[in-house]
């Protein structure tokens, strides 16, 4: 079927990517392609639909840029997130974007690991003389890791609860949903503040007792050992977000399961004698994955936004950790004179969350078979040159 | 005469209607149903919507638990089966559903769909692909269909796939719930003929549920006419069609338009007013009495007995009681 | 007898295409027929043959991706006067005709009725929109009369009910009431009884027959049910894959079907009144209308197919004044 459409350059690219992936799968599981040819065709069609959706492509580009920056950021940043450049050059105090500073060849420079020379502060610096550009790159890493850690746990609690509640119904449903309601009612902000007040010392104790774990997280966040204490605050916020984040998924999945359960093929499976876990796994889950995936994508942006908001309020990313929300908070007192301290991190938050939103929306259109029509309609068929449209 | 394969005794199924604090009443979907089906034969179950025929179909396969009554399969009460015996029963008794457009999981390939029962019951198969392909051939499809998805197939083809899925278990007894109602006439004929062939080849026993009298007459050896949860007439198909006894049966037969203008415009019709009442509060006495043109004094007071008026031909109506 | 008949609708050379992502579906491919005043004309065929699309095309109810490519639908508002081509009218002009002069009854009454408004309101609304009454209140009074005319039990109560409070049969009566409230000349009924029980179906068909006589209606009935055709219709057109393959007086069609498809169709319908030994099925499946077969669209499934059938479209042949067929067997 995919041979029939007029292909653009992007299509050839997405085809190549998909085919590469398929070849890999076929090596790992021989015969996979033969059994899943129809599914691969579907993936190609979905890619074509994405290729023809400008917002989707923009979103994808933004997200890719974000992830790339988050991963390589700490390596390409000219300075560390906490390097006080004012120690070398007074001009580095609240320096506007484009300021050039000089780092002399002193022992201080050697101690802080900064090579002597002239540097252009691309985005300016803050009141500690920290390079904003570097901090923003580190901030990307912070945001990404926090988002991943929240999304790795939070939604899945909710999805599991939703599956069980939706499928079994009755009393189990009632109990689980009331339980969910309680958590939904939790004010996230208060919880985060409370956790930040109580948990960090205990987390620190735990990390000190397990240096390997501590090192692991420090590398993840790209933080220095001495800042492990600050990191504990970040972790406490992550834990708070787990608790706040799962109820939405429970509700969503329960609703999806309730309607999927009524499908005739589920009844047919029950009539065949298919055991319950099989039904949940094979019949219900694949058919509700679409909306869940869309929700997850949109939520990624949601977590980043929430985390930035909490940091802005002083909860979570504690100095000197570089976090976009935190930077805005620190810089807000110098606004509007040193506008760059608020503008650039704000812009990054905007673009990142926008990226996830755009991709999430496009994903929804692609995955929902009804709205997919409108996108597929734009796909022109090959050799229908004389045909009226 | 040997024992019937399926025997239903005083089967009842009431669904509670919930009020805010307590149960308001009961939907008496199935209210005292009795019949037998012998091996290799087809019982046609006809009636209008809400008469309970689908519920009977589900009860007979233990997809629902009855409020009271028994269903005996090979002499054993299916609701008392446990463990291995229950599994055996499930393999032997299967169902074909009405809507082929939604009875197949859209995310599974045809191979997965047909092979699923084999996996569940852990049946040993040496060559899965060959096994499934053979089943496809037996229902008139071929191997090119193996790894495709249901949405690529027509209604008739999907129904064949649903049948192939059941055949994987080598069943004995199949409940067919309006298997061709969603299909076109020409496709319907294909599926009905396929079902008949399979019945002959594999000595299958069918409970054929439908509201289409022509189809039921073509397929059935015996028929049972249901109204508001009860069987009002039962007998050999040919006999009931040629000489219907119960007024409802007569009305039902009159109501179905016959594809022949000579007959349908000139024949005598029994017209019956009103619509089937709600099964929550069935009328007292004979349930059909409010609409019956032959209503007598006794009809709203006493429920008629289910009597054998002629050999093998039963009817539940005061017109035929010996009193 | 023929000279007494006045045409009310004359469809000439209708072509309708659907532009879908998979290709162009040639749904209606040169359909022509005439409906005469006072008769019940039937379009019968299986799923996908185009009967519903044809019915909707008559008043340009086709939405994109569908498009009426060419053809004429001549509407004779008054017998003996000049007809107007409905396909050339503007949406405004058509809206005046729809519901007032030509009205529809669709298959599922639950879908045709708005669940948020009472039956009385919906009947009144149609009359109000066409200027027949000046207020909804007046409409309610008239609605009771209309419900009486469609034999709705307890009309004074029912007129204030919402659709979900009514049974299937009652809903369809209400829909018929709405449809006939402005005394149309032509009623197009698309599978009006498929969603109903057998005994209720019978009642509704009787009602339609009675109303037709009372109001001197012309009815276009769309159905796939051959029994219904035999019971209700005066003339029948059999459609297959977007074309009319045969048209005849109803008795003639059933007694003497000519087109191989019609013959096969009649043999495939299980007749409840006779014992049937074997139902004949038609081999193959309905063609894909994006790439329809050339020549006669039925030839891949026809046991009498000749070479000519595969390349040339058969013309319309009048075998008798009341019977035409499109098949090379009869040229």
Spell out which residues of chain A touch residue B165, defining contact as CB-CB under 8 Å.
Answer: 272
Confidence of residue A1 (pLDDT cuts 50, 70, 90): very low
Arithmetic mean of pLDDT, C151-166: 86
Residue A365 lies in a domain: no
- In degrees rounded to 5, what are phi and psi of residue B70? -130, 150
Shortest Cα distance, chain B CAs vs residue A276, angstroms: 11
Which of B90, B108, B148 lies at the smallest CB-CB distance from A273?
B90
Cα dihedral across residues A156, A160, A161, A163: positive or negative? positive
* C21 part of contact set with chain A, CB < 8 Å: yes
How many CB atoms lie under 10 A from the CB of residue A290?
16
Residue in C with minimal Cα distance to A373: C21
With a cut of 70, say whether residue A372 has pLDDT above it.
no
Spell out which residues of chain C touch residue A387, defining contact as CB-CB under 8 Å.
Answer: 24
* C251 part of contact set with chain B, CB < 8 Å: yes
Shortest Cα distance, chain A CAs vs residue B103, angstroms: 4
- On whether both A188 and A273 belong to a single domain, the answer is yes
Say how far apart CA C320 and CA C216 lie, in whole Å.
28
- In this prediction, residue A336 carries a pLDDT of 87
B interface test, pick of C273, C274, C283, C289 with most B CB neighbours within 10 Å: C273
With a cut of 90, say whether residue A7 has pLDDT above it.
no
- On whether both A184 and A312 belong to a single domain, the answer is yes
pLDDT in tens, C238-266: 999 999 999 999 999 999 999 999 999 98
Q: Are B165 and B110 in contact (CB under 8 A)?
A: no
Query: In A101-227, which ranges are continuous DSSP H helix?
Result: 107-112, 132-168, 170-185, 188-209, 211-221
pLDDT in tens, B226-281: 999 999 999 999 999 989 999 999 988 888 888 888 888 887 788 888 777 777 78
- On whether both A106 and A223 belong to a single domain, the answer is no
Shortest Cα distance, chain B CAs vs residue C309, angstroms: 22
- In this prediction, residue A4 carries a pLDDT of 54
Say how far apart CA C221 and CA C101 lie, in whole Å.
16
Residue A34 lies in a domain: no
- On whether both A229 and A287 belong to a single domain, the answer is yes
- In this prediction, residue C326 carries a pLDDT of 92
With a cut of 60, say whether residue A382 has pLDDT above it.
no
CA neighbor of C209 nearest in space, from B264, B212, B291, B292: B264
Q: Which two tokens stand for residue C118?
A: 């009472």
- On whether both A206 and A253 belong to a single domain, the answer is yes
CA neighbor of B132 nearest in space, from B164, B106, B163, B91: B164
Residue A143 lies in a domain: no
Torsion, CA A12, CA A16, CA A22, CA A28, rounded to 10: 180
- On whether both A198 and A337 belong to a single domain, the answer is yes
- In this prediction, residue B299 carries a pLDDT of 87
Say how far apart CA C258 and CA C323 lie, in whole Å.
9
Arithmetic mean of pLDDT, A205-213: 86
Residue A18 lies in a domain: no
With a cut of 50, say whether residue A383 has pLDDT above it.
no
- In this prediction, residue B159 carries a pLDDT of 92
* B211 part of contact set with chain A, CB < 8 Å: no
| CB contact (8 A) between residue C226 and residue B213 | no
Structural domain count of chain A:
2
pLDDT in tens, B40-73: 999 999 988 778 898 999 999 998 899 999 999 9
Residue A38 lies in a domain: no
- On whether both A201 and A282 belong to a single domain, the answer is yes
| CB contact (8 A) between residue A381 and residue C23 | yes
Tokens 């796994």 sit at which residue?
A281
With a cut of 50, say whether residue A389 has pLDDT above it.
no
Residue in A with minimal Cα distance to B129: A35
Tokens 């908001």 sit at which residue?
A309
- In this prediction, residue B323 carries a pLDDT of 55
- In this prediction, residue C165 carries a pLDDT of 85
Shortest Cα distance, chain C CAs vs residue A62, angstroms: 30
Say how far apart CA C39 and CA A282 lie, in whole Å.
55
Which of C198, C264, C278 lies at the smallest CB-CB distance from B256?
C198
| CB contact (8 A) between residue B185 and residue C224 | yes
- The CATH number assigned to the domain holding A154 equals 1.10.3720.10
* C288 part of contact set with chain A, CB < 8 Å: no
A interface test, pick of C17, C20, C21 with most A CB neighbours within 10 Å: C21
- On whether both A172 and A293 belong to a single domain, the answer is yes
Arithmetic mean of pLDDT, A223-240: 86
Residue A241 lies in a domain: yes
CA C18 to chain centre: 20
- In this prediction, residue A61 carries a pLDDT of 93
Residue A73 lies in a domain: no
DSSP B103: S
Confidence of residue A379 (pLDDT cuts 50, 70, 90): low
Confidence of residue C2 (pLDDT cuts 50, 70, 90): very low
Q: Which residue has the higher pLDDT, C127 or B7?
A: B7
- On whether both A162 and A300 belong to a single domain, the answer is yes
Question: What is the residue range of A108's domain?
Answer: 84-129
DSSP string computed for C192-244: TTTTS-HHHHHHHHHHHHHHHHHHT-EEEEEES-HHHHHHH-SEEEEEETTEE
Q: Which two tokens stand for residue A102?
A: 């000089």
* A377 part of contact set with chain C, CB < 8 Å: yes
Q: What angle do CA A237, A240, A243 make, to 5 degrees?
A: 155
pLDDT in tens, B120-166: 888 888 888 899 999 999 888 888 888 888 888 888 899 999 999 99
Say how far apart CA A17 and CA A40 lie, in whole Å.
12
Pairing assessment for the beta strands B6-18 and B173-177 based on DSSP bridges: unpaired
CA neighbor of B283 nearest in space, from B265, B264, B302: B302
CA neighbor of A129 nearest in space, from A94, A81, A77: A94
- On whether both A195 and A337 belong to a single domain, the answer is yes
- On whether both A124 and A162 belong to a single domain, the answer is no
Bridge partners of B14, per DSSP, are B28
pLDDT in tens, C295-316: 999 999 998 888 888 998 999 9
CA neighbor of C298 nearest in space, from C249, C258, C251, C255: C258
Q: What share of chain A is helix, strand, coil (3-state, %, to 5)?
A: 75, 5, 20
pLDDT in tens, A12-25: 888 888 889 988 88
* C65 part of contact set with chain A, CB < 8 Å: yes
In chain C, residues 167-206 whose CB comes closer than 8 Å to chain B: 167, 169-170, 197-203, 205-206
Exposed, middle or buried: residue C291 (CB in 10 Å: 0-12, 13-18, 19+)?
exposed
Judged by phi (left if over 0) then psi (alpha if -120 to 50, else beta), residue A222 lies in left
Say how far apart CA C196 and CA A76 lie, in whole Å.
72
In chain C, residues 275-314 whose CB comes closer than 8 Å to chain B: 275-276, 278-282, 285-286
Bridge partners of C129, per DSSP, are none
pLDDT in tens, A89-106: 888 888 888 888 888 888
- On whether both A157 and A266 belong to a single domain, the answer is yes
Shortest Cα distance, chain B CAs vs residue A56, angstroms: 25
Residue A47 lies in a domain: no
Ordered structural domains, chain C, with CATH = 2-90+220-330 (3.40.50.300)
Spell out which residues of chain A touch residue C15, defining contact as CB-CB under 8 Å.
Answer: none
């Amino acid at each position: 079927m995919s041979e029939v459409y007029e292909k653009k350059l992007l299509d050839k690219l997405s085809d190549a990517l998909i085919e590469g992936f398929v070849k890999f799968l076929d090596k790992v599981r021989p015969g996979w392609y033969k059994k899943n040819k129809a599914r691969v065709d579907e993936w190609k069609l979905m890619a074509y639909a994405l290729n023809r959706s400008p917002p989707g492509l923009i979103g994808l580009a933004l997200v890719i840029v974000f992830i790339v920056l988050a991963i390589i950021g700490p390596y390409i940043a000219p300075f560390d997130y906490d390097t006080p450049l004012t120690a070398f050059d007074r001009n580095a105090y609240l320096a506007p974007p484009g300021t050039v500073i000089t780092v002399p060849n002193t022992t201080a420079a050697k101690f802080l690991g900064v090579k002597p020379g002239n540097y252009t502060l691309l985005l300016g610096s803050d009141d500690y003389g920290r390079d904003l550009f570097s901090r923003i790159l580190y901030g990307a890493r912070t945001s990404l890791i926090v988002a991943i850690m929240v999304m790795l746990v939070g939604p899945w609690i909710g999805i599991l609860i939703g599956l069980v509640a939706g499928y079994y119904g009755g009393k189990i449903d009632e109990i689980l949903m009331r339980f969910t309601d309680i958590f939904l009612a939790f004010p996230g902000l208060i919880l985060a503040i409370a956790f930040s007040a109580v948990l960090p010392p205990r987390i620190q104790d735990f990390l000190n007792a397990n240096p390997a774990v501590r090192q692991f997280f420090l590398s993840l966040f790209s933080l220095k050992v001495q800042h492990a204490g600050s990191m504990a605050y970040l972790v406490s916020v992550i834990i708070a977000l787990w608790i706040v984040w799962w109820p939405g998924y429970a509700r969503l999945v329960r609703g999806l399961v309730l309607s999927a359960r009524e499908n005739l093929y589920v009844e047919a499976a029950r009539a065949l004698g298919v055991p319950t876990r099989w039904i949940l796994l094979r019949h219900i889950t694949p058919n509700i994955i679409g909306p869940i995936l869309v929700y997850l994508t949109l939520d990624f942006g949601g977590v980043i936004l929430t985390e930035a908001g909490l940091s802005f309020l002083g909860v979570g990313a504690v100095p000197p950790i570089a976090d976009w929300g935190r930077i805005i908070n620190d810089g807000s007192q110098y606004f509007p004179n040193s506008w760059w301290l608020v503008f650039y991190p704000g812009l990054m938050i905007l673009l990142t969350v926008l990226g996830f939103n755009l991709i999430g929306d496009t994903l929804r259109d692609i995955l929902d078979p009804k709205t997919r029509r409108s996108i597929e309609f734009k796909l022109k068929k090959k050799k229908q040159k004389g045909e009226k449209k | 005469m040997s024992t019937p394969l399926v025997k239903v005794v005083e089967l009842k199924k009431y669904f509670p209607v919930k009020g805010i604090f307590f149960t308001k009443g009961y939907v008496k979907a199935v209210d005292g149903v009795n019949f037998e089906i012998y091996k290799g034969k087809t019982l046609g179950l006809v009636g209008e919507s809400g008469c309970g025929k689908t519920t009977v179909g589900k009860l007979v396969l233990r997809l629902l638990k009855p409020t009271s009554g028994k269903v005996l399969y090979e002499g054993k009460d299916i609701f008392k089966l446990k463990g291995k015996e229950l599994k055996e029963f499930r393999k032997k008794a299967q169902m074909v559903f009405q809507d082929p457009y939604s009875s197949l999981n859209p995310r599974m390939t045809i191979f997965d769909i047909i092979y699923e029962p084999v996996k569940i019951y852990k049946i040993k198969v040496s060559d899965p692909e060959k096994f499934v392909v053979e089943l496809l051939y037996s229902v008139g499809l071929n191997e090119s269909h193996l790894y495709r998805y249901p949405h690529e197939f027509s209604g008739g083809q999907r129904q064949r796939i649903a049948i192939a899925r059941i055949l994987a278990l080598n069943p004995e007894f199949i409940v067919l719930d309006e298997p061709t109602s969603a299909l076109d006439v020409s496709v319907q004929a294909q599926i009905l003929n396929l079902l008949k062939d399979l019945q002959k080849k594999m000595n299958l026993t069918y409970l054929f549920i439908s509201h289409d009298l022509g189809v039921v007459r073509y397929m059935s050896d015996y028929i049972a006419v249901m109204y508001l949860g009860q069987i009002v007439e039962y007998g050999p198909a040919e006999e009931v069609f040629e000489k219907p006894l119960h007024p409802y049966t007569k009305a039902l037969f009159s109501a179905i338009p016959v594809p022949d203008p000579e007959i349908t415009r000139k024949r005598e019709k029994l017209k019956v007013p009103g619509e089937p009442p709600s099964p929550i509060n069935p009328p007292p006495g004979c349930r059909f009495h409010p609409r019956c043109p032959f209503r007598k004094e006794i009809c709203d007071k006493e429920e008629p007995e289910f009597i054998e008026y002629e050999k093998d031909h039963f009817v539940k109506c005061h017109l035929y009681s010996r009193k | 007898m023929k000279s007494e008949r006045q045409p009310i609708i004359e469809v000439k050379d209708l072509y309708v295409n659907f532009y879908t992502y998979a290709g162009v579906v040639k749904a209606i491919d040169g359909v022509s027929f005439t409906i005469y005043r006072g008769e019940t004309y039937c379009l019968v065929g299986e799923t996908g043959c185009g009967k519903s699309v044809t019915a909707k095309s008559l008043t340009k109810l086709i939405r994109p991706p569908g498009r009426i490519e060419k053809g004429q639908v001549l509407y004779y508002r008054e017998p003996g006067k000049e007809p107007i081509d409905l396909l050339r009218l503007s949406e405004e002009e058509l809206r005046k005709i729809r519901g007032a002069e030509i009205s529809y009854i669709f298959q599922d009454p639950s879908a045709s009725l708005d669940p948020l408004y009472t039956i009385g309101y919906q009947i009144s609304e149609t009359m109000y929109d066409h200027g027949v009454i000046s207020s909804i209140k007046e409409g309610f009074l008239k609605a009771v009369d209309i419900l009486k005319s469609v034999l709705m039990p307890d009309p004074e109560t029912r007129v204030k009910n919402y659709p979900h409070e009514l049974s299937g049969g009652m809903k369809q009566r209400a829909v018929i009431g709405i449809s006939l409230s402005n005394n149309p000349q032509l009623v197009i009924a698309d599978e009006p009884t498929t969603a109903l029980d057998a005994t209720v179906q019978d009642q509704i068909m009787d009602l339609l027959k009675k109303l037709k006589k009372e109001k001197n209606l012309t009815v276009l009935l769309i159905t796939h049910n051959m029994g219904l055709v035999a019971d209700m219709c005066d003339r029948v057109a059999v459609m297959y894959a977007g074309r009319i393959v045969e048209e005849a007086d109803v008795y003639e069609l059933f007694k003497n079907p000519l087109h191989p498809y019609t013959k096969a169709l009649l043999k495939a319908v299980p007749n409840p009144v006779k014992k049937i030994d074997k139902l004949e099925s038609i081999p193959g499946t309905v063609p894909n209308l994006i790439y329809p077969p050339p020549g006669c669209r039925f030839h891949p499934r026809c046991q009498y197919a000749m070479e000519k059938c595969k390349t040339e479209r058969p013309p319309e042949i009048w075998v008798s004044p009341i019977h035409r067929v499109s098949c090379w067997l009869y040229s």
